[in-house]
């Protein structure tokens, strides 16, 4: 999806900004919806204000097989288990058309900061566009910063960075709590960086990484066509599994795209899987009418703390197009 007015992803270390986080019904921008938005405003390094609201998404109506009565639901059991947000808590929550204007007013034109923030930005951009807002704030991803200064960490999820920095993170996967944790992580990382180098010197670290073009992977002998890789691309060094028919290209071509940005392909969902990409038609069907075996396995692994996300091919191609 082309987001013409989307803000820029920045490499910067400001002390005035707004930290944001969202919780959603899933990770696909077309088929899933925001269920919580939170933000923390920081001026000259000090927290001065906060914003948080649940958001009632469009309901789903399904017939209870035991009673035959049609029931209204907003989130499935997986999302409730992950976030703690229940159907009951969303029953009287405001809808996005009343929450978004207040949120937009709160963030103003500030630079936004978040962890793996590109996903939040895309959800907010699309929600704003549907309501007539041009959401164009530039943003900084703390995951990109963490991957650069802590390259030896096995994973760079928010919980991993918080643990590494001895930050006690509570209420994970609730938007305001994640904002607070993200801000603590950013503050410590920023101070650590600026204690050892200038901001310009830090920006200079983000140069293409060279890797041997002759190295092969196990699947179908697909080898990268590139010798230069952007380490900050969300797919760089990540293991990707595909399932379902892709509509935009053949799966082999999609796999080629993965290795071209420095990613790794695999056939099965395991603890090493970082992204499960669902063909668009199958993703839509699985969201509405049940879930595939691979989706269920991926959800189970994520609830156990594994670094895995389920995305549609549209979200996958959005990540391929990720730019500094």
User: Could you tell me the two tokens for 278?
Assistant: 């669902």
Q: Helices (DSSP H) in the chain: which residue ranges?
A: 77-83, 87-90, 96-107, 117-130, 142-149, 158-164, 175-196, 199-204, 251-260, 280-289, 293-303, 313-320
Q: Model-level pTM?
A: 0.80
- What is the per-residue pLDDT across 214-262, written as a single tens digit (0 to 9) for each? 443 347 678 898 888 888 888 999 999 998 777 777 888 889 999 999 9
* Whether the predicted pLDDT of 323 surpasses 60: no
User: Which of 289, 249, 60 minimizes the C-alpha distance to 277?
Assistant: 249
What is the reported pLDDT for 178? 97
Q: What is the DSSP string of 195-245?
A: HHS-HHHHHHT--PEE--TT---SSTT---S-SEE-TTSTTTT-EEEEES-
Residue 210 binned pLDDT confidence (cut-offs 50, 70, 90): very low
Active-site annotation holds for 164: no
Average pLDDT score over residue span 85-113: 97
Backbone phi and psi for residue 228, each to the nearest 5 degrees, phi listed first? -115, 130
What is the reported pLDDT for 223? 83
Catalytic member of 156, 164, 173, 247 = 173
Angle between helices 251-260 and 313-320 (to 10 degrees): 30
Q: How far is CA 96 from the centre of its chain?
A: 19
Cβ 53 vs Cβ 67: under 8 Å: no
Range of lowest pLDDT (12-16, 137-141, 215-219): 215-219
Which residue is associated with the tokens 């987001």? 3
- What is the per-residue pLDDT across 251-299, written as a single tens digit (0 to 9) for each? 888 899 999 999 999 989 999 999 999 886 566 666 555 677 888 899 9
**Integer Cα distance of 246 and 310 in angstroms:** 15
Computed over every residue of the chain, the mean pLDDT equals: 88
What is the reported pLDDT for 162? 97
């Amino acid at each position: 999806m082309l987001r013409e007015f989307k803000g820029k992803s920045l490499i910067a270390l400001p002390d005035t900004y707004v930290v944001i986080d969202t919780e959603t019904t899933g990770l696909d921008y077309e088929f899933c919806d925001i269920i919580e938005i939170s933000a923390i405003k920081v001026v000259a390094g000090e927290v001065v204000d906060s914003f948080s609201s649940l958001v009632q998404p469009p309901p789903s109506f399904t017939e209870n097989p035991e009673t035959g009565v049609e029931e209204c639901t907003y989130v499935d059991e997986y999302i409730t288990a992950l976030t703690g947000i229940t159907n009951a808590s969303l029953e009287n929550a405001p809808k996005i058309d009343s929450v978004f204007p207040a949120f937009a007013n709160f963030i103003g034109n500030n630079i936004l900061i978040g962890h793996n923030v590109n996903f939040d930005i895309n959800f907010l951009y699309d929600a704003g566009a549907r309501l007539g807002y041009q959401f164009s704030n530039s943003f900084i991803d703390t995951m990109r910063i963490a991957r650069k200064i802590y390259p030896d960490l096995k994973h760079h999820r928010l919980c991993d960075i918080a643990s590494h920095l001895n930050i006690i993170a509570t209420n994970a996967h609730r938007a305001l709590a994640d904002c607070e944790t993200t801000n603590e992580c950013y503050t410590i990382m920023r101070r650590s960086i600026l204690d050892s180098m200038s901001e310009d010197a830090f920006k200079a670290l983000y140069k293409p990484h060279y890797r041997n073009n002759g190295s092969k992977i196990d699947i179908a002998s697909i080898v990268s066509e590139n010798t230069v890789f952007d380490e900050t691309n969300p797919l760089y060094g990540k293991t990707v599994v595909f399932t379902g028919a892709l509509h935009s290209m053949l799966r082999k071509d999609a796999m080629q795209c993965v290795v071209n940005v420095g990613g790794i392909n695999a056939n099965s969902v395991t603890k090493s899987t970082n992204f499960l990409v669902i063909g668009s038609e199958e993703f839509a069907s699985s969201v509405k009418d049940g879930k595939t075996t691979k989706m269920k396995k991926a959800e189970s692994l994520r609830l156990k703390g594994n670094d895995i996300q389920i995305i549609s091919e549209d979200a996958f191609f959005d990540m391929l197009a990720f730019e500094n």
